[in-house]
Amino acid sequence: MNDTKNPNGFFADPGSIAPSVDKHWRDDFIVELRLRDVDGPTIGDALMTVETHVSESGESAQDAFGDPRAYARELAPEGDPSRWPVTPLFVVANLLGLLGLFVTARAFGGWLDGGPLRITVGDVASAGVLLALMGLITAFFVQLVRVIMDHVWLVLVASFFLFGALVALPTLLLTQPLFTVSPILLGLIGVTLLSISSVLTYRDGRHDQDEIVAPGESKKNTSTAVLTALMLPFATVITLVITWIPTLFA
């Protein structure tokens, strides 16, 4: 059964354009076209073509068009799969956001402990590792998405432990103090970085976020940019909650 959502809703689902098409086939088809720099309205037109054939012939999309990613490559052969599907502004925004998340979480931990916060060599190294990992993800974004499409749970679990180890180990091993700082001051710096990140992300207006609409329809969902801009602040809040919960039982 295909899942569809109100196209005017907060999380508009392009499945409303092609309800007869298998969701997994449709998702793989859309992702491949996104990676090949195809805009939303063009994807909507391609989905409508598939939907029309499937609904009229009774064939499945797999039987009629074959592998969704191969079919997407046929439709957009000129796409360069090695190019970045993100802008430099989006990269900068995410780097600042991740740094803001790290700084805010560190400040919150220091505030929970009470007193000045001691910044160590490990703290600086961890921040550097986090930014380096983000840089690698950005540099190999397309390749990473393709691996996730094939092995989603394996990649997510492995990434969780890899990020945790690479970011936490420097803090645990490199404990030489560099300076002390007020947790409140450091928290303000972190919140400022997150705010700048959100503004840059919102202003970026990435073309790969064009809403997928059927031919002849106008765009209806204006919330995508806002949701994207709030992702890292939301992740920061979740991180702070996770940090705070153990103190309730201490």
220 is written with which tokens? 């209806």
Q: How confident is the model at residue 184 (pLDDT cuts 50, 70, 90)?
A: very high
Report percent pLDDT > 90 for the chain.
Answer: 20
The residue extents of the domains of the chain are: 14-75, 88-249
pLDDT of residue 7 exceeding 60: no
Average pLDDT, integer, range 231-249: 89
Of residues 169 and 182, more confidently modeled = 182
Of residues 149 and 48, more confidently modeled = 48
Highest mean pLDDT out of 55-59, 86-90, 189-193, 222-226: 189-193
- Predicted local distance difference test score (pLDDT) of residue 217: 65
| Mean of pLDDT over the chain | 80
Highest mean pLDDT out of 89-93, 106-110, 191-195, 214-218: 191-195
pLDDT of residue 12 exceeding 50: no
